[in-house]
Amino acid sequence: MEAEAYSGPDDPASHAFRRTPRSEIMYGPPGFAYVYFTYGTHWCANVVCESDGTAGAVLLRALEPVEGMEVMARRRGGVAYDKEGKIKERSLCSGPAKLTQALDIDGTLNGCDLRSPLLWISKGIGPLPDAAVAVTPRVGINRAAGRLARFIRKDSPFLSR
């Protein structure tokens, strides 16, 4: 599991640093998807998480696939398989664009209520103990790159970097 926090108008790396029609969804209410197209080629998925009227979202950077690997691999295409034709599970969702491709998330889900049958976040195994989580600077950005706002599961082989 890997996620990065973007806190809005006080965060120059956040899309809500300047309030625009695209970033309006980040101002709440919480529990909705903020899905955007980046670099003209990839979708990224965020969870709006601040109270209504306050901008903030968490970018879903990576996850550990636990079921549906065959479907995810088909969605990712040839890059999801090794030379022997086996699914490369570690890299199926090891980056924001890989994650959205594997889960079939695109712009049609922007603004989706995350309690809907279309897109949801399940409880999973519950919270990790603090000792299993590391907080690091965000990656892949230029502005406010040094902020400790990337949360990772320590020793996970499924991280983006």
What pLDDT, in 10s, does the model give residues 24-81? 999 989 999 999 998 888 999 999 999 999 999 999 999 999 999 999 999 999 899 9
Residue 161 inside a domain? The answer is no
Residue 160 inside a domain? The answer is no
Cα separation, 103 vs 82, in Å, equals: 20
Residue 119 inside a domain? The answer is yes
The dihedral sign for the CA sequence 147, 149, 155, 160 = negative
Note the pLDDT of residue 161: 74
Banded model confidence at residue 144, pLDDT cuts 50, 70, 90:
confident
Residue 17 is encoded by which pair of tokens?
Answer: 């640093």
Note the pLDDT of residue 40: 84
70 sits in which H/E element: helix 69-76
Cα separation, 126 vs 124, in Å, equals: 6
- Residue 33: give its domain's CATH number: 3.10.300.10
Do 3 and 77 contact (CB within 8 A), yes or no?
no
Give the number of domains in the chain. Answer: 1
The model's pLDDT over 89-137, given as tens digits with 9 standing for 90+, comes to 999 999 999 999 999 999 999 999 999 999 998 877 788 899 999 999 9
Note the pLDDT of residue 108: 97
Residue 78 inside a domain? The answer is yes
Region class of 8: left (phi > 0), else alpha (psi between -120 and 50), else beta? left
Note the pLDDT of residue 125: 79
CA 45 to chain CA mean position, Å: 5
Residue 158 inside a domain? The answer is no
Report the predicted TM-score, pTM, of the whole model to 2 decimal places. 0.92
Cα separation, 55 vs 95, in Å, equals: 23
Domain residues for the domain of 64 are: 2-153
Residue 159 inside a domain? The answer is no
